[in-house]
Amino acid sequence: MTIKKLINAKGHITPGVLEQPVDEINYLEYDLRTVMDRPRSKLARRLRFNQFQFVSATGTGWVFGMALVDLKLVGSGFFYLYDVASGQMFEQSFMSPLAMGTRIEPYPEHGQASFSKGKVSMRILPFAGGRAISISAPGGIRVELTLKNDADPLRLVCPAGYNGWVFTRKSAGLPAEGEIRWGDQIWRCDEASRGAIDWSCGFMRRETAWNWASLAGQLPDGRSLGLNLAAGVNETGMTENALWLDGQCQKLGAARFSFDRYSPGSDWHVTTVDGRVDLHFVPATARKEKLNAGVLASNFRQYVGTFSGTLTDESGNRVDVQGLQGLMEDHFARW
């Protein structure tokens, strides 16, 4: 069974974890109001609605990340490849005023997303059970990746601020295929390669900040492992925290991140209040971006590094995590 539209006939959301897929995010039908209860116009609803998608993939000796963002006043896209052996971070980022060349369709299960500027083309194309990622850019950059077996994502809608909401659809630990070409260098997926998908949108708080952890890899016993943890967003009585073991999604409790924001190379420690997560993270490199344009602002730091520690599945079994590559993020945004 599918939920045809996220917003009901009264213009409201129904907060919580959604067991069924959502066909359409019909955000223009939401009863958006000012803090003094005055109904907002259709134009205001269109301009206040933010969308972004992020996909990552981790292979033997490399980590890849890509994002497409539509903030209406500006659109952006970035992608990077971190080579573990050399310590090199290859990255490209682009911005476009008024989100020109940015397209994110409001259909979580089948909507396409793309960003284009000049000779740069970035695309995320859904198919039954996965996503195909394609990038073409000058300098011999070509990316063709496929994330598969996306059968049990976490879907969540929750209030944000006084009168908004956020919808997110997340998956991690998905088998990955394909390759990344950057000039004369090539990184290929193998049987151990895994990826993650983050599809998020909503009428978000005007100012917000969050910490986020993402892990997608293969355990020594061959099982796929995925992890998504966040603090500071999507926490109005519920969380987006989840563990995936061989594709099965298991909900986790609230997350706590411990780190020194002003010592960017220092270690992180993340736990959950239910005692099922106890992980340390050692950053190796970071993608950083600062924007302060008055109306819009962003202080973004996404770290690539190594996770070690323990997880506990819903049956009480311990899962040892040793030396798996993943991501940590510290982000302030005004939009």
Condensed to tens digits (0 to 9), the pLDDT of residues 294-334 reads 889 999 999 999 999 999 999 999 999 999 999 999 999 99
**Token representation of residue 17:** 């974890």
- Beta carbons of 177 and 149 less than 8 angstroms apart: no
Lowest model confidence (mean pLDDT) among 21-25, 206-210, 234-238: 234-238
Angle at 77 between CA 174 and CA 116, to 5 degrees: 110
Is pLDDT above 90 for 24? yes
For a pLDDT cut of 90, what percent of the chain falls above it? 95
Is pLDDT above 90 for 235? no
pLDDT of residue 272: 98
Mean pLDDT confidence for 247-276: 96
Lowest model confidence (mean pLDDT) among 132-136, 158-162, 174-178, 267-271: 158-162
- Beta carbons of 146 and 133 less than 8 angstroms apart: yes
Mean pLDDT confidence for 278-293: 95
Q: Using 50, 70 and 90 to split pLDDT, how confident is the model at 238?
A: confident
DSSP string, 301-325: EEEEEEEEEEEE-TTS-EEEEEEEE
Exposed/middle/buried for residue 6 (C-beta within 10 Å: 0-12, 13-18, 19+)? buried
pLDDT of residue 273: 97
pLDDT of residue 237: 81
SS3 294: coil
54 contact partners, CB below 8 Å, separation of at least 6? 65, 66, 67, 68, 197, 198
Question: Mean pLDDT of all residues in the chain?
Answer: 97
Give the Cα separation of 124 and 81 in Å (integer). 17
Mean pLDDT confidence for 213-237: 94
302 contact partners, CB below 8 Å, separation of at least 6? 65, 286, 287, 288, 327, 328, 329, 331
- Global pTM value: 0.96
Is pLDDT above 90 for 38? yes
Mean pLDDT confidence for 102-131: 97
Is pLDDT above 90 for 4? yes
pLDDT of residue 140: 98
DSSP string, 11-51: S----EE-SS-EEE--GGGS--B-TT-PBPPHHHHHHH-EE
Closest-CA residue to 272 (of 234, 244, 231): 231
What's the length of the chain? 335
- Beta carbons of 297 and 290 less than 8 angstroms apart: no
Exposed/middle/buried for residue 147 (C-beta within 10 Å: 0-12, 13-18, 19+)? buried
Q: Using 50, 70 and 90 to split pLDDT, how confident is the model at 293?
A: confident
252 contact partners, CB below 8 Å, separation of at least 6? 229, 239, 241, 242, 243, 272, 274, 276, 277
Is pLDDT above 90 for 226? yes
- Beta carbons of 282 and 269 less than 8 angstroms apart: no
Is pLDDT above 90 for 1? no
Give the Cα separation of 30 and 40 in Å (integer). 10
- Beta carbons of 196 and 217 less than 8 angstroms apart: no
Is pLDDT above 90 for 72? yes
Find the Cα–Cα–Cα–Cα dihedral 261, 263, 264, 269, rounded to 10°.
-70
43 contact partners, CB below 8 Å, separation of at least 6? none
Condensed to tens digits (0 to 9), the pLDDT of residues 5-14 reads 999 999 999 9
Is pLDDT above 90 for 122? yes
Is pLDDT above 90 for 162? yes
Give the Cα separation of 143 and 274 in Å (integer). 39
**Token representation of residue 176:** 């990955």
SS3 139: coil
pLDDT of residue 234: 84
pLDDT of residue 233: 87
